[in-house]
Amino acid sequence: MSEVSLLKQALRSVVAGQVNAAADPYRPAWHLAPPVGLLNDPNGFVQHNGRYHLFYQWNPLGCAHGAKFWGHWSSVDLLHWRHEPLGLAPAEEYESHGCYSGSAVVDNGQLTLIYTGNVKYPDGSRTAFQCLARENERGEFDKTGPVLDLPVGYTGHVRDPKVWQHNGHWYMVLGAQDLNLQGKVLLLHSADLLSWVSLGEIAGSGLNGLGQFGYMWECPDLFRLSDSDVLICCPQGLPAESDRYQNTFQSGYFVGQLEYDAGHFPHGDFHELDLGFEFYAPQTTLSDDGRRLLIGWMGIPDGDEFYQPTIEHGWLHTMTCPRELTLENRKIIQRPAHELQRLRGEEQAWQGIAQDAPVWDITHAEVAIGTEQPFSADLGGNMTLAWDGEWLRLTRKNRRSGEQEQRVWRGALRHLTLLCDRSSVEIFINDGEAVMSSRYFPDLPTQLTFSGKQPITLHHWPLADCVIE
């Protein structure tokens, strides 16, 4: 299908569906969500000329995974966003089955996208090209086309380029699957973004002391934090353990030191980034003021996503809030970006026995909970957060099976921050030591009800709408 035809189809879908989508009571007040259709991975997160740009995997034609476009938002302050011209549409032969995930860089003052062109063949096989597109004076992107073909020794599952500059050279990490069906991360370098040279595999199943560790590693992101290098990735195929790897696919990180010349990345253990029900494919950027910021997809690529009720209104999935990352004792700490505090309304505070706490509206609100003692909190009759002195448990009813399901964290609890937004909650544990991000679909307006016979300290702020132009 030609690009003109694709754009016409996308425009028709948006015009026909946006009123229904906007009327959904579960539509977020301040999280980013697609105008219509399905959203997944954040792409091309970058700050350029004082504006943040966030692209995203988007199917504007329906709530299904298909040939993905790149949608595009921008913002000065991470709060007030505007729709920009569509980033990419899968119109060329080298991207016939989707403009898959990638990143953005500023090259000689020009915003440049690096993404995967996905191609599937009638016999079931597939290939992938890493492609380039550059912004023009109209804010649109002109495609250069493929700059890297499928590397020898790998299946057609090679995708999600993340590119950065180091000592005057461009570097790229790529998610890949080798011919033994083992997940890997590849490192490449280039002088001009056009010609790429492989430096080999720097991480993956069977490398750096890992045993079997998944059949595909998606969405790699490598960056400097404090005095270490951090590799974020999404290994697919990790078997669930009693209190780890509970989602269909995982997102996590390794801390080490990248040896650029040798193409080696000795690293420590794998740590999950988020322990909630929905979190995947995060991407980071370095802000102009030196912060490492992260945004993730509040979703998981599995069958349960298609049981969410927003599909009835023609849209599916949201992004997480933007988060600031620091590295403390070789562990990533995630905190809500400080800009989000500007959404706060009038503060309410309360202290006493948990079961005597006031019932607050958390439809879109921030709640701070201070306690080391056991308590339980009901979120709109649809989700429960309970602390027993050892385990923090987040429990809800699975929308597909109707059975109770839970996610857990274990440690010494001191403090919780809940960021709630109609159909989502992000729970920051001990000022960002761990996070649990989840979608849920409570009774509206959503009420927070505490139980327990121990003391608790609470603070509550209503959160204003985020403006999307």
Map tokens 């991000």 to a residue.
Answer: 437
| Mean pLDDT within 404-427 | 98
**pLDDT score for 242:** 85
> Is pLDDT of 119 > 90?
yes
298 three-state secondary structure? strand
pLDDT band at 131 (very low <50, low <70, confident <90, very high): very high
Partners of 310 in beta bridges: none
Neighbours of 98 (CB within 10 A): 23
Q: Percent of the chain at pLDDT above 70?
A: 100
Q: What is the pLDDT of residue 302?
A: 82
Stretch 64-79: mean pLDDT, rounded? 96
Residue 1, pLDDT score: 82
Sheet holding 141-148, edge to edge: 99-107, 110-120, 126-135, 141-148
User: What are residue 162's phi and psi, to 5 degrees?
Assistant: -115, 125
pLDDT tens for each residue of 58-67: 999 999 999 9
| Residue 241: Cβ-neighbour burial (10 angstroms; 0-12, 13-18, 19+) | exposed
**Predicted local distance difference test score (pLDDT) of residue 282:** 98
CA atoms within 13 A on the CB side of 425: 31
pLDDT digits (tens, 9 = 90+) for 208-237: 999 999 999 999 999 999 999 999 999 999
Bridge partners (DSSP) of residue 322 are none
- pLDDT at residue 466 is higher than 90: no
Select from 200, 324, 317 the least CA-distant residue to 264.
200
CB 385 within 8 A of CB 417: no
Q: For residue 4, give the H/E element and its range.
A: helix 3-22
Quote the CA–CA distance of 256 and 187 in Å, as a whole number: 15
pLDDT, tens only, 40-55: 999 999 999 999 999 9
Pair of tokens at residue 266: 């000795």
Confidence of residue 290 (pLDDT cuts 50, 70, 90): very high
List C-alpha distances in Å: 63 to 38, 75, 317, 421.
Answer: 5, 26, 9, 21
- Give the residue from 96, 101, 27, 109 showing the smallest Cα distance to 71: 101
DSSP type of residue 264:
B
Q: Hey, how many other C-beta atoms are within 10 angstroms of the C-beta on 439?
A: 25
What architecture is domain 344-462? Sandwich (2.60)
Q: State the catalytic residues.
A: 41
CATH of 3-336, one of 3.40.50.2000, 2.40.50.60, 3.40.50.970, 2.115.10.20: 2.115.10.20
pLDDT of residue 303: 75
SS3 3: helix
pLDDT bracket for residue 469 (50, 70, 90) = confident
Token pair recorded at residue 142: 């002109």
Determine the residue type at 228: S
> Residues of CATH 2.115.10.20 domain(s) within the chain?
3-336
Write the pLDDT tens digit of every residue in 313-364. Answer: 999 999 999 999 999 999 999 999 999 999 999 999 999 999 999 999 999 9
> In which residue ranges of the chain is CATH 2.60.120.560 found?
344-462
Average pLDDT over every residue of 118-136:
97
pLDDT of residue 400: 92
Q: Tokens for 227?
A: 């005095």
| Nearest-angstrom CA–CA distance, 230 and 247 | 22
pLDDT of residue 277: 97
Question: Average pLDDT over the chain, rounded to whole?
Answer: 97
Peptide bond before 85: cis, by omega within 30 degrees of 0?
no
Distance CA 410, CA 394 (A): 12
pLDDT digits (tens, 9 = 90+) for 87-103: 999 999 999 999 999 99
Long-range contacts of 233-242 (CB under 8 A, 24+ apart): 233/175, 233/185, 233/203, 234/175, 234/280, 234/281, 235/183, 235/205, 235/270, 236/183, 237/183, 238/213, 238/214
Q: Is 298 exposed, middle or buried (0-12, 13-18, 19+ CB in 10 A)?
A: buried
Question: Residue 404 — pLDDT band, cuts 50, 70, 90?
Answer: very high
